[in-house]
Chain A
């Protein structure tokens, strides 16, 4: 038994926003109301109690790149960041393109026992974009979706086939939309800034062409399509139109795409090198509008840990990506909720029930009987991002020193406290 006493419970899945006590029993939500028990009481008055947050775009790097992150360090980072579940990407080594890797990830996650880990399988063998991977077998082994993240499928015929196949399996195809012939050798957004810095640019169209193509193929195949890390105004518009036309498409953006612009690249901080690249203020505005009107369903992190030596180098050869698990909530509260773009309930929905729905997994609700996955948030806590204090093995973020509002203070998974910051009294 565990009683979270006196918090403001915000659960968009039940349209709930009230101060109440939340009782957990047997790993499930047992009761919401005025509750008294003798022991195992945590005072969360002044805090916000949310359905456990789910990050559907994380690179846990295991197997193969444990020097960047592994399932244990990534799970700790997730728990510290307020996430009770993560979906991990298949660009591992060996590639997560067969059932044995799926099962080994699930087994390791179980041993670690912190947050729920939902592996995504690769769409194609070896992430090569050529032959279909054994997706049916991986699904039986526990894969929740299939993705071409980091290795976007270029050939339309291959994408068409995997979509047909995933439509049969009734799982979403989760895509990184990038025409790699247009983006080749590009390191940042294309425009005046890239011209001045002398870095080859990646035009918006490199993303938008593939967003448009994949929407058309989703229409052709009837497959559920989920578009990852939307970064441009044009992509938001294409997805909005597709939704209006009834195509089964969902999408996510990441905090970096509503919190930073390409200006951050000036000075050549390699932590700003991410893919898709940081865009312009116009794009940020369009992404916020897309979040507000529901075009963008999900906020995910694209948590992409890299070792220091992979970033302390020339901009051209630095690897793409930034960590995000431990800054996502703060950025979302600061840039969207406090700024008035989203209500708290809307933001929570995009970080809990929406990703649960896309992935077809439990979670995202504090309804009685649901798994007791709970995130407790100090909505008004001001804090400064200090990468040295991250639980993640990697520290690659350009956000060090940024002041944020909103801090996850406790994370509960299946009734068990997996992370707690000292300011919460037991």
Chain B
């Protein structure tokens, strides 16, 4: 098999040859695109999280607007349905005074059979500064990024990565626990199809956390045990002693494809209940990227409990996306909240 070292080496050769950032005072990511957390350094992730923390103050103010990105233009191009991610990016851009345009598949010429490449080139001709792309095909944002010098932020590509979600999850953990290093995070559910799981595992392991992947074998990616993670098919063993339980959405269509027997059985063996959570650390928190299937992968009383971070995650999503836009486009000094 191909080793993780070989894969990482090949990935690094391809993405962002530029050095990351040259000292604590620099507040700009020296890469054109945000495609995934696999190729990001711990220093870059730290910079994004710290910048997001600064921006979060701004979200608490009455006047939520700064002129930082005035005159800059952001396009969100979503080939898959999304409420929170797209809205979150748009709000983030608007707070920074960037102009935003959203294109969703149903209302675009994609429905008329225009190729992805032609769509990108057409939109590019309208001179945006950043493309925020969600696409059902893994690697689609990479292809778009290869077509143009403008920045691309991956807002979720197939089963590959969802870097802004990984970052907002890390920000949520960092705020709740004060650190990432040394924590143990269990990611529970459909790991196979989850870009959230992949971005989380790269980000968290780079920041010194331990990651457990928990779920049925049919929903576990092949050879995933070769990654720096622990793999569990027993939910109770999987969440025993962890600091964080990150619960993934289970989709009905996976059952229809024969990947697990029934929602009932899934819930029985992998659903996050209050009883099961007693196995985690006393101060453990629960997260979910949404939308939740209450009563399936997460019980309603857990979702609504004081240890549920679901709403905080959504707020942090805006802060993280402001940080990403700012760090890609802004490039000024780090006094963002001034």
Contacts and interface: CB of A to CB of B under 8 A. Distances in A.
B221 interface: yes
| Main SS class of interface, A | loop
B138 A199 contact: yes
Contacts of A203: 222
B223 A191 contact: yes
User: Interface centre among B3, B10, B139, B159, by most A CB within 10 Å?
Assistant: B139
B33 interface: no
Nearest to A201: B222
B7 A193 contact: yes
Interface in B210-234: 221-224, 226-227
Interface in A254-303: 261-263, 266-268, 270, 280-282
A197 B160 contact: yes
A195 B143 contact: no
B142 A192 contact: no
A191 B222 contact: yes
Given A268-B142, A280-B1, A314-B137, A198 B223 contact: no
Given A270-B143, A314-B135, 20 more contacts: A191-B222, A192-B1, A192-B224, A192-B226, A195-B222, A196-B7, A197-B139, A199-B139, A199-B158, A199-B160, A200-B159, A261-B2, A262-B2, A263-B7, A263-B10, A268-B143, A312-B115, A314-B143, A315-B137, A316-B158
A194 B10 CA distance: 14
Nearest to A194: B222
A262 B221 CA distance: 17
A281 B140 CA distance: 27
Nearest to A314: B137
A282 B1 contact: yes
22 contacts: A192-B1, A192-B2, A192-B227, A195-B221, A195-B222, A198-B160, A199-B158, A201-B222, A261-B2, A262-B2, A263-B10, A266-B14, A268-B139, A268-B142, A281-B2, A282-B1, A312-B115, A312-B117, A313-B116, A314-B135, A315-B143, A317-B137
Query: Which 5 residue pairs spanning A and B have beta carbons closest together?
Result: A198-B160, A268-B139, A195-B221, A198-B159, A314-B137
Contacts of A309: 115, 117
Contacts of A282: 1
B195 interface: yes
A193 B139 CA distance: 13
A190 interface: yes
Interface string B164-202: 000000000000000000000000000000010010000
User: Interface centre among B14, B157, B158, B222, by most A CB within 10 Å?
Assistant: B222
Contacts of A267: 10-11, 14, 142
B195 A280 contact: no
A354 B183 CA distance: 61
Given A266-B11, A268-B139, A316-B137, A198 B1 contact: no
Nearest to A264: B10
B97 interface: no
A263 B2 contact: yes
B81 interface: no
A281 B10 CA distance: 14
